[in-house]
Amino acid sequence: MPMYIIIPAYEPDKRLIQVVQDITIKLPKARIIVVNDGSGPGYNDYYDETAFIGATVLTHPINKGKGAALKTAFAHIQEEVVSQHLSAQPIVTVDSDGQHLIKDIVRVAKAIEENPSHLVLGARAFVGKVPARSRFGNKVTAGLFRLVTGQKVTDTQTGLRGMSTDLIPWLLNLDGNRFEYEFNMLLEAKKSGHQISEVPIETVYLEENKSSHFRPIRDSIRIYSPFLKFSGTAVLASVIDATALFVLFALTKNLLLSVVLARVISASSQCLLNANVVFNPTSSLFRSSVRYFMLVLVLLACNYFLLSSLVAIGLGLVLAKLVTETLLFLVSYRVQHNVVFA
């Protein structure tokens, strides 16, 4: 079946050649695009061989990251689709180390043909011998993703993904150039009207996944950056609120007025920060601000009723406050992401 297959690669080994050979033999109608993400001259032989087999090789002069490699391939495909007046076709992204089987590539491509507007994930079962960091990392991101979006995705870190060429303009506008790009793709899918669907694939890990270039600390920070930024703006808003309260009370000696004005100042500051640093809304700032202050009022009421209810059933005030703030923090993120700054 006709399709595009993207293989981002950084410092690959001979398995890249094997992957391209297998695809060429078993999927002769597939157009293979390999992106050399700044691997350096020592790896040119691998890329030259894939080009000889029939793949199109695109090269970054320096390492820019997996997200940037995918965007380079998407842009190339878009130019080809436009110049050749091609109809919509499936695109499947594949890892360069041979972990994705041909039958699973076909399964993902067929799912795209059936639902062109979907973002299709090849979902691994994580049974048997799975590297601990892969199992743990996926559970954390899947759990966090479900908490903040309300969507259940079993494999948020899969590199086997499918999408239609019609989705390329959206894909090119997503933030991120490294591993966080793939997670941002999931976060923004629903808001952009693209349903996420999963098809089961075989779980294959070669040599304990040693070929992965994922850097646990640095790349995890990038992946979780939307939540870290959101937490940061909340902390900063609290500091602004407290500072404004003390200053205003010193000036006015009116506690009620000081509390109200301090909250207006801190909420306005957090609204601007979330709009410009965390969410980057597509709607106007005025519309987002109106929605934001409506949310603030609703959350304030929910905070009171939830806190008082937990205390009424015997929960200590400190623990009740902790539970209340945690739940409303997650609710606030979800509503701001999907409604306020949509």
Domain count, the chain: 2
pLDDT of residue 155: 86
Range of the domain at 319: 225-339
Residue 218 lies in a domain: no
State whether 182 and 258 are in the same domain.
no
pLDDT of residue 19: 95
Residue 219 lies in a domain: no
Beta strand 161-164 pairing with 119-123: antiparallel
State whether 26 and 116 are in the same domain.
yes
pLDDT of residue 213: 54
Q: Which two tokens stand for residue 323?
A: 């539970």
By residue count, the chain amounts to 342
State whether 275 and 172 are in the same domain.
no
State whether 196 and 291 are in the same domain.
no
The H helix count followed by the E strand count for the chain is 12, 7
pLDDT of residue 217: 59
State whether 205 and 230 are in the same domain.
no
pLDDT in tens, 282-311: 678 888 888 988 998 898 888 888 888 888
Which residues, given as ranges, of the chain have pLDDT below 70?
126-137, 205-223, 282
Q: Tell me the pTM.
A: 0.74
Tell me which H or E stretch contains 243: helix 225-252
Are the C-beta atoms of 194 and 186 separated by less than 8 Å? no
Integer Cα distance of 108 and 201 in angstroms: 9
State whether 186 and 263 are in the same domain.
no
Phi/psi of residue 140, nearest 5 degrees: -65, -50
Structural domain ending residue among the three candidates 213, 238, 257: 213
State whether 205 and 170 are in the same domain.
yes
State whether 135 and 250 are in the same domain.
no
State whether 154 and 263 are in the same domain.
no
Integer Cα distance of 332 and 247 in angstroms: 28
